Chain A
């Protein structure tokens, strides 16, 4: 079954702790993205990667880090420097980011809360 798998569905972070959110895709898409969604708000871009071993900061990258060692995987680490991490995190992929008509595919999200 093709798609995007985000895990875990729910995650709790203690003060001063780093946590990693997983995003795996078997769509063979080149581009991958991480978005943050706060309650009742729109989507804000954290990081994106258009190709393996390369990634760029989005609009709110501070306090987050990513890696793209494999085409299928784009994990997001929420570091202790992110003081307000409680949010719904969405991973997305895109077959070819050069083409305007290529849609974004989304995972089912991870809800991160602070203990």
Chain B
């Protein structure tokens, strides 16, 4: 079945550092890929998505590129802020199937 693997956290960075959170997936079809963000005590919000190979999703300075050859969708940001501290979830969706989420990666950004 489909699955998503994310790098183990927590990840702790200083403000303005470069961020990478790795995400790899296994899927039988042609899934769409998503990154969601969850702030403390809240629900998940869509951060970005990509629907086909080589697509790049971007939002609020975050980017991720759909790499079919490496089955990856790594999240990157050039300069993190304290306000980026949250839990980040990688997810995939195949047509007609439910979402599959990774375990989440907690990011803490220190001033």
Contacts and interface: CB of A to CB of B under 8 A. Distances in A.
A103 B96 contact: no
A106 B101 CA distance: 14
Contacts of B96: 97-98
A41 B99 contact: no
B45 interface: yes
Contact of A48 (B43, B45, B46, B98): B98
A109 B42 contact: yes
B43 A42 contact: no
Contact of B31 (A45, A58, A100): A100
A43 B30 contact: no
B58 to A, nearest CB: 15
B94 A100 contact: yes
Contacts of B30: 100
Contacts, number: 59
Interface residues of A, number: 26
Interface in A57-109: 58, 90, 92, 97-109
Which secondary structure characterizes the binding site on chain A? loop
Contact of A106 (B31, B43, B93, B98): B43
B95 interface: yes
Interface string B4-38: 00000000000000000000000001111010100
B49 A90 contact: no
Contacts of B89: 42-43
B93 A100 contact: yes
10 contacts: A40-B106, A43-B44, A58-B98, A97-B96, A100-B31, A100-B94, A104-B36, A104-B44, A106-B45, A109-B42
Interface of A: 4, 6, 33, 40-43, 45, 48, 58, 90, 92, 97-109, 111
The 6 closest A-B pairs by CB, nearest first: A106-B43, A42-B103, A100-B32, A101-B51, A101-B32, A106-B44
